[in-house]
Amino acid sequence: MPRHESLLTDLWAAIKAPPVTHAEFAIGDVVRHRLFDFRGVIFDVDPVFANSEEWYEAIPEGMRPSRDQPFYHLLAENAESSYVAYVSQQNLIADDEGGPVHHPAISGIFHGFVDGRYELRREHRH
């Protein structure tokens, strides 16, 4: 094997790639937090944890989710307010309420609420 191929092989072996994860939810899905009383619509998905270390460390150790799973950005709401949330897959369940989410930023990202999901605006599609 030529030296450059051997170096490439060694380099790839040294890179620790995150495990392959599969998102259970998609952009536009309405979900509910498993532990806390809020629901929201997904507007972005990270295949693995991609927030700050400070944010992660602020979660009590006994409740801290694994980093090696999808994390979802939500336009969230509870009885008191609307906000943006960042939630691990293990802490989300499909929303059985079936109704729309009342977040003021929804109309800027989505158009239409059809069959329990939001449709992404054309200008936000890749």
Q: Measured between alpha carbons, how far is residue 28 from residues 57, 73, 84, 89, 102 in Å?
A: 29, 11, 14, 15, 14
Portion of the chain with pLDDT greater than 70, in percent: 82
Angle at 70 between CA 95 and CA 51, to 5 degrees: 110
- Domain chopping of the chain, boundaries: 21-124
pLDDT at res. 96: 87
Residue with tokens 């950005």: 73
Q: Mean pLDDT, the chain, as a whole number?
A: 89
21-124: CATH superfamily: Hemimethylated DNA-binding domain (2.30.30.390)
pLDDT at res. 10: 62
Mean pLDDT score, 77-96: 97
pTM, rounded to two decimals: 0.82
pLDDT digits (tens, 9 = 90+) for 31-75: 999 999 999 999 999 999 999 999 999 999 999 999 999 999 999
38: closest CA among 89, 95, 88? Answer: 95
